Amino acid sequence: MKKNRTDNFDKFSLKKKGSAVKENIRQDKKKAKAESRAMGEAARQRKIDKARGIVTDPPKEKYSKGPYAKKTTGYEKKPSTRKSFQDAPPKYGELTPSHTTRPATTNKRTPASMDKADEKRTASIGKVNAASDTPYEQMPLNKYIAHAGISGRREAAAMVKSGHVTINGDTILEPGYKVQYKDVVRLKGKVLQLQVTPVYILLNKPKDYICTANDPEGRKTVLDIIKNATTQRMFPVGRLDRNTTGVLILTNDGDLAQKLTHPSYEIKKIYEVTLDKPVTKADMEAIAKGVELEDGFIAADAVSYLSNTSKDVIGIEIHSGRNRIVRRIFEHLGYDVRHLDRVMFANLTKKNVDRGKWRFLAEKEVRLLKFMNKSFTRKSAKEN
Cα radius of gyration (the chain) = 28
* pLDDT tens, position by position, 285-342: 999 999 999 989 999 999 999 988 889 999 999 998 888 999 999 999 999 999 999 9
Residues 245 and 352 sit within 8 Å (Cβ to Cβ) = no
Residues 299 and 288 sit within 8 Å (Cβ to Cβ) = yes
pLDDT at 64: 45
Question: Is the Cα dihedral 351, 353, 355, 359 positive or negative?
Answer: negative
Helix (H) or strand (E) holding 88: none
Residues 108 and 144 sit within 8 Å (Cβ to Cβ) = no
pLDDT at 7: 52
Show the low-confidence residues of the chain (pLDDT under 50): 1-2, 4, 6, 9, 11-13, 15, 59-135, 376-379, 384
Q: Options 1.20.58.1290, 3.40.50.2300, 3.10.290.10, 3.10.330.10; which CATH number does 138-191 get? A: 3.10.290.10
Could you tell me which CATH class the domain 200-383 is placed in? alpha beta
pLDDT at 203: 96
Measuring CA to CA, how many Å separate 156 from each of 78, 152, 241, 255, 335?
Answer: 54, 6, 22, 12, 37
Neighbours of 104 (CB within 10 A): 14
Task: Give which of 257, 165, 175, 167 is closest to 211, Cα–Cα.
Answer: 257
Ramachandran region, residue 208 (left: φ > 0; alpha: ψ -120 to 50; beta: rest) = left
pLDDT at 77: 46
Residues 175 and 152 sit within 8 Å (Cβ to Cβ) = no
Alpha helices in 52-81 (DSSP H): 67-70
Cα–Cα distance, 40 to 42 (Å, whole number): 5
pLDDT at 335: 95
pLDDT at 37: 83
Delimit the CATH 3.30.2350.10 region(s) of the chain. Answer: 200-383
Delimit the CATH 3.10.290.10 region(s) of the chain. Answer: 138-191
Cα–Cα distance, 75 to 360 (Å, whole number): 53
Q: Kindly report the average pLDDT of the chain as a whole number.
A: 76
Cα–Cα distance, 111 to 96 (Å, whole number): 7
Neighbours of 26 (CB within 10 A): 10
Query: Which residues are tagged catalytic?
Result: 241
Cα–Cα distance, 10 to 23 (Å, whole number): 13
* pLDDT tens, position by position, 11-43: 444 545 566 677 778 888 888 888 888 888 888
pTM for this model (two decimals): 0.53
Task: Give which of 328, 331, 272 is closest to 304, Cα–Cα.
Answer: 272
Burial 264-299 (b: 16+ CB within 10 A, else e): ebbbbbbbbbebeeebeeebbebbeeebeeeeeebe
Measuring CA to CA, how many Å separate 206 from each of 21, 239, 321, 381?
Answer: 50, 13, 20, 39
